[in-house]
Chains A and B, each alone.
Chain A
Amino acid sequence: MKQLRVLFSLALALVLAISVQAQESGYQIGDKASDFILKNVDGSMVSLAGMSNIKGAIVIFSCNTCPYVVAYEDRMIDLHNKYAAMGYPVIAINPNDDKVSPGDSFEKMQERAKEKNFPFPYVYDKTQEVIKAYGGNRTPHVYLLNKEGNDFIVKYIGAIDNNYQDASAVTKRYVEDAMSAIMAGQSIAVTTTKAIGCTIKWTKTE
């Protein structure tokens, strides 16, 4: 009986260790990003494979309610307008649970996309499987993907730039610098950055 109990607690510890590991993991630079099929605000389903002629994508975990996201919305539009024609569209993904954060519901996403006239897909990761696979932990959180063969490889993870308050005071354009390096076939100087952001509103599992 005692042995059984020891065995059981060992097994439990192992399961716990694995789940902690899974939470902390997510993509690193150079990893293959998995595709997704998520519902866009226009009702269509969006996937990387379904976007014709793309060479990559600027995937941004985003939402309606975070002031940092709001501060960056116009810059997200600019990024899309600049890079979509070159094969790198912005894809904004809202991972927030709408019970925990009612302002992040699909209907509110549709409203926000209409208000701001988003030129890029704004899709809902309702099951939070995509953000878990990517390892995003705040909004906004950028994953820059480059298509190599049939795979989408993670090239940059982090912030859009280094001043959310004032676009004109930015001194480091992380995403644009990474895009320039990709375009020029050079290696990216700064591949990961951190920024203050809003927590992901995870689904409660009670």
Chain B
Amino acid sequence: MKILFAYFFLWTWIGVANLENASSNNPTVFEIITFDDFEKMMADSSPKIKVYNFWATWCAPCVKEMPYFENVQAEDPSIELIFISMDDGRKPERVTNFIERRGVKAPVYLLNDVDYNKWIDKVDPSWSGAIPATLFIKPDGSKYFHEGEVDENELKSIIQKLK
């Protein structure tokens, strides 16, 4: 009877462990989107501070700062991190390979619209178009835009100010 109980217990434990394992192994969301899709995404209301980081696989300062964003997201449940890739939409494998190699966890959307002058001001009028750049949207819909690289402390202090 004791042995049976132990077996049962063990199996339950393995089952839960597997489930947890499966959820952490979920593939990272990756999708190619239009600017219209992105506009809808920006407008979606959320109880969290949405953090849209604009980056590209070839952009060294972008790649450098990505782990800082993932660290802050892991520590702070009030943050919803989304990576917006400016990579070439004809070669999405560059992005998916990068996600796999670097173990990127936050969702990644490749914004596939090169007619940049049409939409940059709609993200934020202060944006020159240089990347990296990050858009923060508070739950009340108000925005804060940062152009250029950040380190982890700068990022935390920006988020602190937005709270």
Residues of A at under 8 Å CB distance from B? 67, 101, 137-138, 158-159, 162-165, 171-172, 174, 193-200
User: Are B130 and A158 neighbours in the complex by a CB distance under 8 Å?
Assistant: no
Instruction: Write 5 A-B pairs (CB below 8 A) sorted by A numbering.
Output: A196-B130, A197-B129, A198-B59, A199-B148, A200-B130
- B74 interface hit (Cβ, 8 Å): no
B134-152 at interface with A (beta carbon < 8 Å) = 147-149
Q: Could you say which residues of chain B place their CB within 8 Å of the CB of A199?
A: 61, 130-132, 148-149
Interface string of B83-113 (1 = CB under 8 A from A): 0001010100000000000000000000000
A195 and B131 contact, CB distance less than 8 A: no
Residues of B within 8 A of A193 (CB): 117
A138, A162, A174: the one within 8 Å of B114 (CB): A162
CA distance A200 to B88 in the complex (A): 21
On whether A137 and B114 interact (CB within 8 A), knowing A195-B120, A196-B86, A199-B61, the answer reads no
Contact of B117 among A101, A137, A165, A195 (CB under 8 A): A195
User: In the assembled complex, which residues on chain A have CB atoms less than 8 Å from the CB atom of B59?
Assistant: 198
Are B131 and A162 in contact, with the CB atoms below 8 A? no
B102 CB → nearest A CB, Å: 19
The interface residues of chain A lying within 8 Å CB-to-CB of B90 are 165
Contacts of A196 in B (CB 8 A): 86, 116, 120, 129-131
Whole-angstrom distance between the Cβ of B75 and the nearest chain A Cβ: 27
Closest to B112 in A: A165
Task: Verify A137–B115 contact, CB threshold 8 A.
Answer: no
Partner of B120, one of A137, A172, A194: A194
Docked CA distance A87–B22 (Å): 66
Q: How far is the CA of A193 from the CA of B128 in the complex (A)?
A: 9
B115 touches A67 (CB 8 A): no
Residue among A158, A193, A194, A196 with the highest chain B CB neighbour number at 10 A: A196
A162 touches B130 (CB 8 A): no
